[in-house]
C-alpha cells in the first residue's frame, strides 16, 4: 500500500569514539524512507534540499525505488546541516550544529501522485509543518504516524498537542514520553499520551528496546544485543521507517501486526548502528533482514515448565 514520508533530507557530520565523517547523507526523511523501502512499494518522500545537494544522493534514493517528486530543490538555499558528537558510552551525544537553511521556511508541497496515500509517516519536524501535510491531503490516510522531540515540547507545545491529536501512532523515546506526560512511570505516561488523541503509542528506549501501547495492551520488543555499535545516528528514524514500511506492505494495522512491525523496525535499527550514517542501510538484502528477525525470535523465546506454574 502507498506510503508518504515527510522529514529532513540533510548533510550530517558525525563524530563517534570510532571515527568521524565529513558531510554525509543524513536526515530523518532519508533514514525513514530508506528503511521503509525494504518493505513498502515505492515510498514517496516530501522534503526540501538546497542547490548544494548532490544528484548522486537523489539517485541513491531513487535506486531504492523511492519517489522523489516531492523533494523540492531550492536553487537559492543550502541543505539542512547537522553535526553531532557522541560520548564514550554512545548513548548520549552533543549537537554541535543545527543549520536549518532551506528547512527554516519549508512549505511542504504534495504532488498530485502522492494524494490518496494510505500511510503517512511524519518525521521529526515542526508540528506546524507536520499538520500542514495532514491538512493538504485531500483524503485522510488509513494510518498517520508521527515522531517528535523535546525541542518542540519546549518551544511550541500548543501546536504540538494539536498535531498529536490528529495522528494514529506517536513514536517517541522514553525521555520525550516523560517530558510530554509529566509522568516518570512509562505506563502512566502512556495513559496520558493516549488520552491526547493517538490510538497507539511507541516508546523507544534505545539499546533497551521499545514498547508498544494501546489503551488495553502493551508489547515489548528488545533491541538486539550487538557486538559492534559504530554510529547510532538515525537509529530512531530507521526504526520508524521499518515499522511504517512493514505496515504499509499489506495494510494490516491490527495490534498483532504492529507487534511484528515493531520487531521489523528494531531489526532495521540494529543494522543502521553498525556503520556510519546510511552506509549499512543502503546495501541490505532481504535475506539479511529475515535472518535478523529470526535472531529476535530466538532472543525472546522461552518455554515454561508447566510444573512450575501449577
Residues counted in the chain: 310
Half-sphere exposure of 201 (CA within 13 A, CB side): 32
Residues in contact with ligand AMP by CB under 6 A are 8, 10, 12, 26-28, 82, 98, 124-125, 233-237
Contact predicate 141/1, CB 8 Å: no
Q: Which CB atom, from 211 or from 253, has the smaller least distance to ligand AMP?
A: 211
Q: Which CB atom, from 193 or from 235, has the smaller least distance to ligand AMP?
A: 235
Q: Shortest distance, CB of residue 308 to ligand AMP, whole angstroms?
A: 41
Q: Which CB atom, from 82 or from 230, has the smaller least distance to ligand AMP?
A: 82
Q: Which CB atom, from 13 or from 181, has the smaller least distance to ligand AMP?
A: 13
Q: Shortest distance, CB of residue 71 to ligand AMP, whole angstroms?
A: 15
Q: Which CB atom, from 2 or from 127, has the smaller least distance to ligand AMP?
A: 127
- What is the DSSP-derived secondary structure letter of residue 110? -
Q: Shortest distance, CB of residue 236 to ligand AMP, whole angstroms?
A: 3
Cβ within 8 Å of residue 307, ≥6 positions away: none
Q: Shortest distance, CB of residue 8 to ligand AMP, whole angstroms?
A: 3
Q: Shortest distance, CB of residue 278 to ligand AMP, whole angstroms?
A: 9
Q: What share of the chain is helix, strand, coil (3-state, %, to 5)?
A: 40, 25, 35
Residue nearest to ligand AMP (CB): 26
Spatial distance between the Cα atoms of 44 and 4, rounded to a whole number of angstroms: 5
Cite the DSSP H helix spans in the chain: 28-36, 55-63, 127-136, 150-155, 157-164, 174-181, 186-194, 235-250, 255-272, 286-300, 306-309
Decide: helix, strand or coil at residue 221: strand
Q: What DSSP line would sit under 26-80, residue for residue?
A: E-HHHHHHHHHTTTSSS-EEEEEEETTS-HHHHHHHHHTT-EEEEEEEETTS---
Q: ∠ CA(2), CA(53), CA(47), 5° rounding? A: 30
Q: Which CB atom, from 212 or from 235, has the smaller least distance to ligand AMP?
A: 235
Contact predicate 47/7, CB 8 Å: yes
Q: Which three cell numbers stand for residue 295?
A: 535472531
Q: Shortest distance, CB of residue 7 to ligand AMP, whole angstroms?
A: 7
Q: Which CB atom, from 40 or from 171, has the smaller least distance to ligand AMP?
A: 171
Q: Shortest distance, CB of residue 304 to ligand AMP, whole angstroms?
A: 37
Amino acid at each position: 500500500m502507498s506510503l508518504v514520508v515527510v522529514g529532513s533530507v540533510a548533510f550530517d557530520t558525525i563524530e563517534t569514539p570510532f571515527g568521524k565523517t565529513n558531510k554525509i547523507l543524513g536526515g530523518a526523511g532519508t533514514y525513514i524512507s530508506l528503511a521503509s523501502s525494504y518493505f513498502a512499494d515505492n515510498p514517496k518522500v516530501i522534503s526540501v534540499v538546497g542547490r548544494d545537494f548532490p544528484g548522486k544522493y537523489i539517485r541513491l534514493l531513487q535506486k531504492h525505488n523511492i519517489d522523489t517528486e516531492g523533494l523540492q530543490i531550492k536553487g537559492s538555499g543550502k541543505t539542512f546541516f547537522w553535526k553531532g558528537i557522541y560520548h564514550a558510552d554512545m548513548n548520549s551525544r552533543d549537537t554541535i550544529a543545527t543549520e536549518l537553511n532551506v528547512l527554516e521556511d519549508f512549505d511542504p508541497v504534495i504532488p498530485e501522485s502522492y494524494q490518496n496515500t494510505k500511510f503517512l509517516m511524519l518525521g521529526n519536524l515542526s508540528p506546524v509543518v507536520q499538520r500542514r501535510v495532514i491538512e493538504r491531503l485531500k483524503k485522510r490516510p488509513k494510518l498517520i504516524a508521527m515522531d517528535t522531540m523535546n525541542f518542540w515540547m519546549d518551544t511550541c507545545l500548543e501546536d504540538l498537542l494539536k498535531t498529536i491529536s490528529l495522528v494514529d501512532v506517536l513514536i517517541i523515546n522514553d525521555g520525550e514520553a516523560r517530558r510530554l506526560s509529566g509522568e516518570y512511570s512509562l505506563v502512566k505516561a502512556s495513559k496520558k499520551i493516549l488520552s491526547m488523541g493517538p490510538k497507539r503509542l511507541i516508546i523507544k528506549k534505545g539499546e533497551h528496546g521499545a514498547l508498544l501501547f494501546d489503551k488495553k495492551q502493551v508489547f515489548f520488543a528488545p533491541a538486539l544485543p550487538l557486538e559492534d555499535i559504530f554510529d547510532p545516528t538515525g537509529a530512531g528514524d530507521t526504526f520508524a521507517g521499518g515499522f511504517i514500511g512493514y505496515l504499509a506492505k499489506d495494510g494490516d494495522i491490527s495490534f498483532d501486526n504492529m507487534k511484528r512491525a515493531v520487531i521489523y523496525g528494531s531489526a532495521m535499527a540494529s543494522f543502521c548502528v553498525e556503520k556510519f550514517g546510511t552506509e549499512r542501510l543502503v546495501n541490505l538484502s532481504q535475506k539479511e533482514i529475515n535472518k535478523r528477525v529470526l535472531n529476535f525470535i530466538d532472543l525472546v523465546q522461552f518455554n515454561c515448565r508447566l510444573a512450575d506454574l501449577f
